[in-house]
Amino acid sequence: MTTAPSAPRAPRTSLALPGPRAPMTPRALAASAAPATSITSATFITSAAPVAPAALGLPLGRADVEAAAARIAGHVRRTPLLAGPAGPELPRGGRRLLLKAEHLQYSGSFKLRGAANAVLALGARRIVTGSSGNHGIALARLAAPLGAEVTVVLAGGAHPAKIAVIKALGGRTVRVPGGVAERDARARELAEETGAVLIPSSDHELVVAGQGTVGLEVLAEAPDAETLYVPTGGGGLLAGVCLAAYGHPVRVVGVEPAGTPRYARSLAAGHPVRLAPGDTVADGLRGQQPGAVPYPIIRDRVDDLITVSDAQILDAAALLRRRGFEAEPSGAVALAGALRAGRGTGLAVAVVSGGNTKTALMTAAAAGPPSRTHCTA
């Protein structure tokens, strides 16, 4: 599914959240027109129940992303842009492709950015979250140097090696049956029961702003980028990149696993909808419905949403390994989208969002928590 490049946008400073749902934009309508084959593997459930309210109910804009960048600077790595596939590896060649190497982030994924922004801004010392693994790892890694306690609620499909790392970092884990919706509901209950601060993996203003620092760095180092491919699960990273891209003509393309196209389905319906629990090799992207915070941002700014099959994801991960990138399947989704699109002659950037492979996770578990004085070691 592709759309024509959109015209340059007037600068935007903020988005009102959550507010009434606006009519679908031409961009969103085009994004919803996916070929039926790209989403038929997902079971579709409309839900009369509203999504959770925004965590803080505040407007978000690029200024919040810039503030997050300043806040987390001492706790995250400014990851490099590295050369991506070229020539015969890139279908319909002629364009340049760079890779934003978030698999080199201290916690092994971009999730450290949003987690750090929320923890530092809120001064949280008792934290509860629901996570597929990488957000929990990020919070547990932050907690050790800051003297905080973290409880991570995980659904049945969580990777055992990621659970082991959370425990090795000093985090407490709770397993629940069901999917992401049940996981997040239990996390909310635990936070209410214990008085801990709930820091969701994506549906929180501070988390979204922190994830948006990925976009700030990309556009600062590659201001001539024409297309930016972003993996899309809960939507925190895509929404944050959308905020960072306001006022910039770059095309922002969200890439979802074909089995869990919650944002494509929601934009097609004109409101957030809930999918049944889905399965994909991209275990970090199994969210069932858009979050209240990311949804309106994505609705109003994303240029395109495309889906990729598990086979395409695994092919992209194998390609990354051949080029020396240790990326997990979730981390290869954006590249899979870029390879599928394979058009144009300008500069494109794909976010390699995570590198928590089995080997990397075993190393992290053996290392244990960082010291209290060196959060970024």
Tell me the catalytic residues.
111, 132
Structure tokens at 253: 């393309």
User: Cβ distance 183 to 154 under 8 Å?
Assistant: yes
What is the distance between the terminal CA atoms of the chain, rounded to a whole angstrom? Answer: 42
Distance CA 324, CA 9 (A): 37
Q: Structure tokens of 218?
A: 């990309």
Sign of the torsion angle spanned by Cα atoms 16, 197, 69, 237: negative
Residue whose structure tokens are 């992290």:
364
The pairing of strands 44-45 and 274-275 is: antiparallel
Alpha helices in the chain (DSSP H): 26-32, 62-72, 111-122, 134-146, 160-168, 180-194, 205-211, 213-221, 236-244, 262-269, 294-301, 310-322, 333-341, 358-367
CA distance linking residue 128 with residue 300, whole number of Å = 30
Nearest to 84 by CA among 297, 342, 280: 342
> What value, to the nearest 5°, has the Cα angle with vertex 39 and ends 177 and 358?
50
Starting at the edge strand found earlier in the chain, the sheet holding 347-352 runs 81-83, 96-101, 347-352, 227-231, 251-257, 304-308
